Amino acid sequence: MDPRERKQRLGHEAWRVFRIMSELVDGIDALSAAEPAISVFGSARTKPEDPSYAMAVECGRKLVAQGFAVITGGGPGIMEAANRGAIEAGGTSIGLNISLPMEQVPNPYQNVELNFRYFFVRKVMFVKFARGFIIFPGGFGTMDEVFEALTLIQTLKIVPFPVVLIGTDFWRGLLDWMRTTLLEEHRTIGPDDFDLFHLTDDVDEAVAIMREVADGRRVWASRLPRFSGDEQVMEGEGTRAGVDPRRPGHPRHPARDLP
């Protein structure tokens, strides 16, 4: 490539940051006024006749009854179901839609609708404005959200919030693999990491957990270190600033001893 052409192309790429900034600004502006929210995740491919769809509708309704807004990815399947339940309960139903070559079709049950080009900006909104995650059966995108949340909590990058997995039959195999392979065989996680999430088939239990933690009646991941700033997030994207790893003499990051 000609050096001038390369420089021009790199300059064009640098301007892309303003598009990213605009998505962040639009998202924060639209969601800051909403009541505390719960992000609900699950497969876009779940059909209305699937029992999980009905459970997600029920979940959306019951979250609204408990004073929460509902955030989803705005698409079909489980996302549609949770938004539908929130709308039918007269609540705030937020859809964070993403531009994709296929599959993403905005569902009609959103009264706050945002559109994103970038997955990573969209994921900031899921975390920044959520008091917890409720996660139904899903595919790669759903797994991405599960492990994103668990990573942020495990590393103390965010104030711990509840992560509830709905569907014991669906999740059991993954959790068994995590216990036998990650914990026991390779020791890449610790036993306390299983306190970061809860598995259930009961939507009422999931919603009750969200309310109890939001009210301060239950401490999530209680074995993790607590900080004086836990009632306030330090950074605009909803995460703690943390300690600069290259700062001379910085204190060791609080950590649990692995077995």
Domains in the chain, CATH or no CATH each: 15-167+199-214 (3.40.50.450)
Band (pLDDT 50/70/90 cuts) for residue 17 is confident
Question: Is the separation of the CB atoms in 197 and 116 below 8 Å?
Answer: no
The predicted pLDDT at position 6 comes to 67
Per residue in 233-252, pLDDT (tens digit) is 656 667 887 777 777 665 55
Give the pLDDT confidence score for residue 243 in this predicted structure: 76
The pLDDT, as a whole number, for residue 101 is 84
pLDDT (tens digit, 9 = 90+) per residue, 39-75? 999 999 999 999 999 999 999 999 999 999 999 999 9
Q: Give CA separation, 110 vs 43, 123, 216, in Å.
A: 17, 18, 29
What pTM was estimated for this model as a whole?
0.89
